[in-house]
Amino acid sequence: MGREHWKKIWVGSAGNMVEWFDWFVYASFATYFAGAFFPEGDDTAKLMNTAGIFAVGFFMRPVGGWLLGRVGDRRGRKAALTLTVTLMSASAVLIAIAPTYAVAGYGGAVVLLVARLLQGLSVGGEYAASATYLTEASAPRHRGFASSFQYVSMTAGQILGLGLLLVLQHTLSADALHAWGWRIPFVVGALGAAVVFYLRRTMLETEVYEEGSGADSGDRGTLKALWAHKREAFLVVALTMGGTVAYYTYTTYLTKYLSNSAGLPKQTATLVSFCALIVFACLQPLAGRLSDRIGRRPLLITFALGSTLLTVPILAMLKHAGSFWPALGLSLLALVVVTGYTSINACVKAELFPTGVRALGVALPYAIANALFGGTAEYVALWFKDAGVESGFSWYVAGCAAVSLVVYLAMRETRDIDLGRVGATGSPSERDRLPVS
């Protein structure tokens, strides 16, 4: 890929990293600030309250997907990406200054809720805008590789959050972290978002968008235009279902599972997640490049089959891991399986839609799937635990993967789609394919 392509990927990825740092530090630091806003009940009850607010943020993602997907299709990918980081910065500031229960009663929880709603709006548009931007900005034969940097940057954001948590765990006392230390990552996130705002103001628009910006301008980014591609929209929901549940299970929920269920110390649980995610991030470009050679479907099928068969035994063994190395090995096994989905799901969805509805087509159905499955994964897991049947969650994750497996087996390959020529019907035809070189 040329220098210009790399520049676009770098700018898009850097912003995505900060967005997801702000999103994930809520989950990473939840064990420390849960008591500040919800002082009553046992540890699991407090985590369920904060997980509930975490899930509410996901239910704003369809609204953000619609709003910012429309902006991305009508005003450009750059405009949508700039707006998403502005919203995320505002939400980080709100959480950083939110009053505790001791100061304002449940008023602090209300501020926390408002902040999560803003984050939901932002991330609802960020995923689609960055997925679309990275896919369109890359050379046609390298779309899988280039778009894999979306999850590299997402994971990098989470790694930075966990890294900051490790630093704070070793420099502050547990009492200080519970009292005020948990606010530090949200201040860092707000400052990082300000830097990214500048970067995105100077970023370049994609050639694919500029070349197609004059076509069907009246319907660009509208629900009417999306309805013309309803089959692809439903396909995005179905193929996302299993992947998003597995991803959030082994990333945001993993640390709490290791400490709250497996009984590992919080520092050890955090270190396991930190190390596993570093390896996971490095795997994404390798899997993305592999998909450019053999296609997207083989990787998706491998993920779904592995997740269906291995989730129950992996989570069962993790619960009894007992120490760092067994927990790390099992976590890596799970994330290697999940890589089959995460490394290429951005480009697969973008390849299904024409330019005029691509951002909205990726954003809205993906956000709906995340609201229903991804955002609720942690809450469902804690619900099963609170009900005394924690193993039921393992079967739930495996079942979601099995549904997506059926979809992957039935869907068509998208690797060779020409993004500038996807047909008006939305169903890729032979004329939409890249010319054979």
What pLDDT, on the 0 to 100 scale, is given for residue 423?
Answer: 57
* Residue carrying structure tokens 């999560």: 116
Is 433 in a helix, a strand, or coil?
strand
- pLDDT above 70 as % of the chain: 92
Alpha-carbon distance of 398 to 297, in angstroms, equals: 19
Alpha-carbon distance of 393 to 404, in angstroms, equals: 17
Q: Write the pLDDT tens digit of every residue in 229-262.
A: 999 999 999 999 999 999 999 988 898 899 989 9
Q: Write the pLDDT tens digit of every residue in 335-349.
A: 999 999 999 999 999
Question: Residue 218's Cα: distance from chain center in Å?
Answer: 31
Please give the angle made by the CA atoms of 16, 22 and 24, to the nearest 5 degrees: 95
How many C-alpha atoms does 420 have within 13 Å on its Cβ side?
15
Crossing angle of helices 107-137 and 77-97, in 10° steps, is 160
41: confidence class by pLDDT, cuts 50, 70, 90: low
Weakest-pLDDT range from 39-48, 248-257, 265-274: 39-48
What pLDDT, on the 0 to 100 scale, is given for residue 336?
Answer: 97
**Does position 64 have pLDDT exceeding 70, yes or no?**
yes
User: How far is residue 20 from each of residues 127, 158, 192, measured CA to CA in Å?
Assistant: 10, 7, 11
Weakest-pLDDT range from 98-112, 163-177, 353-367: 98-112
**Does position 82 have pLDDT exceeding 60, yes or no?**
yes
Candidates 166, 136, 184; CA nearest to 9 is 136
Secondary structure element (H or E) that encloses residue 109, with its range: helix 107-137
Q: How many residues does the chain have?
A: 437
At 378, phi and psi to the nearest 5?
-65, -40
Chain-wide mean pLDDT for the chain? 87
Q: 96-115 burial, b for 16+ CB within 10 Å, e for fewer?
A: bebbbbeeeeeebbebbbeb
**Residue bearing the bigger pLDDT, 137 or 358:** 358
Token pair listed for 61 = 């993602």
**Residue bearing the bigger pLDDT, 433 or 317:** 317
pTM recorded for the entire structure: 0.85
Question: Across the chain, which distance is largest between two alpha carbons, in Å?
Answer: 67
Weakest-pLDDT range from 18-32, 77-91, 351-365: 18-32
What pLDDT, on the 0 to 100 scale, is given for residue 437?
Answer: 39
Token pair listed for 115 = 């902040």
Weakest-pLDDT range from 127-141, 294-308, 345-359: 127-141
Is 304 in a helix, a strand, or coil?
helix
Q: Write the pLDDT tens digit of every residue in 344-363.
A: 999 999 999 999 999 999 99
**Does position 218 have pLDDT exceeding 80, yes or no?**
no
* Residue carrying structure tokens 């990927």: 9
Token pair listed for 36 = 């500040």
Q: Write the pLDDT tens digit of every residue in 367-410.
A: 899 888 987 888 899 899 989 999 999 999 999 999 999 999 99
429: confidence class by pLDDT, cuts 50, 70, 90: low
Candidates 181, 2, 18; CA nearest to 89 is 18
Q: 293-311 burial, b for 16+ CB within 10 Å, e for fewer?
A: eebbbebbbbbbbbbbebb
CB atoms within 10 A of CB 330: 23
